[in-house]
Structure 1
Amino acid sequence: MADPFTLPLWLYPALTGTAALTGMVDAIAGGGGLIMLPALLYAGLPPHMVLGTNKVQSMCGTAMATWRYWRAGLFSARAGLPLALAALFGAAGGALLVQRIDAAVLRLVVPLLLMAVALYTVLSPRMGDEDAHPKLSARGYVPVAGSIGFYDGFFGPGAGQFYSVSLVGLRGLGLTRATGLTKLLNLSSNFASGVVFAIGGQVLWLLALCMALGAVAGATVGSHFATRHGARLIRPLLVTVSLALTGKLVWSWFTG
């Protein structure tokens, strides 16, 4: 078990560089945890410290991406506030509950959900940047945002993909606009679960702050490319991340 005061010094720049890569991936399509969580586990951190430390650095990177998408005019903070609050409270509840409930069932179900996300992204003709007729109103989407937020706090992998795909499919947003609003919702759920982990003493702060610098740099680059190139960049990366995350979760399930 790693101790924050005895971590080899080389791990700090190595994990900061890894955080830059995950911040870029997260800013474009989500799923950076597919890279970051195994890296932290390989570094020797205990699992609960991995989750808490990752949430802090991820929150910082997501904050930068959120700001860049907002500056590009891809979502309205005022209109998105009710959804962000639903995600925040949902994530707080999920992070509290995960400490009491075995997540083994989710580990079986989530790969199937992620595969569905990837297939929807590939097959749906509406995963471009054109807005479509919404199936749910903004108010009707609030429970969906809260449920995905709860999942993000409880388990986490693929939450960004679930936000993006549901905003396209249910709210009729174009993919780039959906990705922008996803960052706001992800920021809310990361913040809530990060606070819960921090209160529980599950964050290695020096490492988390170093990684946060990398995540912010990566998110700056990723959001720049995403806002310039739109769906033709986001769509293939969203599919790739969904399939990779699905494969990893299936492999983890069958290897115990």
Structure 2
Amino acid sequence: MSISLLFLCFAGFVAAFVDSIVGGGGIISVPAFLFAGVPAHIALGTNKFSSTFASFSSSIKFISSGKVDFKIVKFLFPFTLIGAILGVNTVLMIDAKYLNTIVLILILFVGVYSFFSKTVGLEDRFESLNKKNLFLGIFLAFSLGFYDGFFGPGTGSFLIFGLIGIYKFDFLRAAGNAKFLNFTSNITSLVLFIIKGQVYFKIGIPVAICMIIGAKFGTGFALKKGSKVIKPIFVIMSLAVAVKVLYGMR
């Protein structure tokens, strides 16, 4: 195994560990692929391939631990799917760079608000599913599915923050539901990357294995430590995504 592949496997493990807890793993894994000399378009497709398997592994563990609310996500995930399909197709017509400023402002707001709020996401105060929060959840799922399909940075953070705001979940429960919805947009995007021949399987498969292991440990850490530990990691990764977007604007 080459040094580059070992580096990518390690980066993939760390990225999946973090991503399974609070999202944002792409800011670790995508630069790692580029640093290893993988062409940009292949890097995006191969990363999506590897991270989708990790996302699936994390989703399964959250499901088995009862942290995914199917009575809610059964209404939301079809709209995430539709949004992702439209997003992937729209990226061919719209220059994503115009979103940089908007995304930077939003993700900074998410991180800073979470940091200064003493109670957000620390208590699970979900009461019931109603027409209002169902509509807001569908809008969130569709919008972020679309966003993830053609741009992506911060999707996991936005989902977690949105689910906390709409359903009053704690960070742990929000992370479980967010991971399930994020997996939906990931698998949709992956299918299109494969169809277009943008996945390098020789690298993607070993990195995927390491990402699955990282996701397994990350999800276990989240379930064991709970929302009080997830919150600071969430804030750090939100601000890290903001830095990444700001750097990309240079």
TM above 0.5: yes
CA RMSD of aligned residues (A): 1.7
Does 2:205 correspond to 1:209?
yes
Aligned with residue 68 of structure 2, among 71, 75, 87: 75
Alignment of 1:136-147 (within 5 A): 136-147=132-143
Counting matched residue pairs gives 247
Please tell me whether the aligned partners of residues 89 and 192 of structure 1 are also in contact (alpha carbons under 8 angstroms).
Answer: no
Q: Aligned match of 1:239 in 210, 235, 244?
A: 235
Q: Could you tell me how far apart the structure 1 residues matched to 2:89 and 2:44 are? A: 13
Work out whether residues 121 and 168 of structure 2, in 8 Å CA contact, stay in contact via their aligned partners in 1.
no
After TM superposition, give the deviation of residue 251 of structure 1 in Å: 2.1
Distance in 2, Cα, partners of 1:15 & 1:143: 36
1:36 correspondence with 2:32: no
* 1:131 aligned residue: 125
Indicate the SS of the match to 2:41.
Answer: helix
Deviation at 1:84, TM superposition (A): 1.4
Rounded to whole Å, the distance in 1 between the matches of 2:70 and 2:166 is 19
Give the equivalent residue in structure 1 for 2:165. 169
- 1:17 paired with 2:4, answer no
Q: Where in structure 2 are the equivalents of 1:34-183 lying within 5 Å? A: 34-77=27-70, 79-124=72-117, 125-132=119-126, 136-183=132-179
Match of 1:184 among 173, 180, 193: 180
Report the TM-score when normalising by structure 2.
0.93
Post-superposition CA distance 1:137-183 (Å, at most 9, x none): 22431121110011011101100000000000112212111110001
1:32: how far off?
A: 0.5
Counterpart position of 1:250: 246
One-letter code aligned to 2:57: M
Residue 245 of structure 1 aligns to a residue whose secondary structure is helix
Change beyond 3 A, Cα 1:45–1:100: farther
* Structure 1 SS opposite 2:197: coil
CA distance in 2 between counterparts of 1:193 and 1:246 reads 23
CA contact (8 A) 2:136 2:166 kept: no
TM-score by length of 1: 0.91
Structure 2 stretches of 5 or more lacking a match?
Answer: none
**Sequence identity of aligned pairs in percent?**
34
Aligned-residue offset at 1:133 = 5.8
Unaligned residue ranges in structure 1 (runs of 5+): 1-7
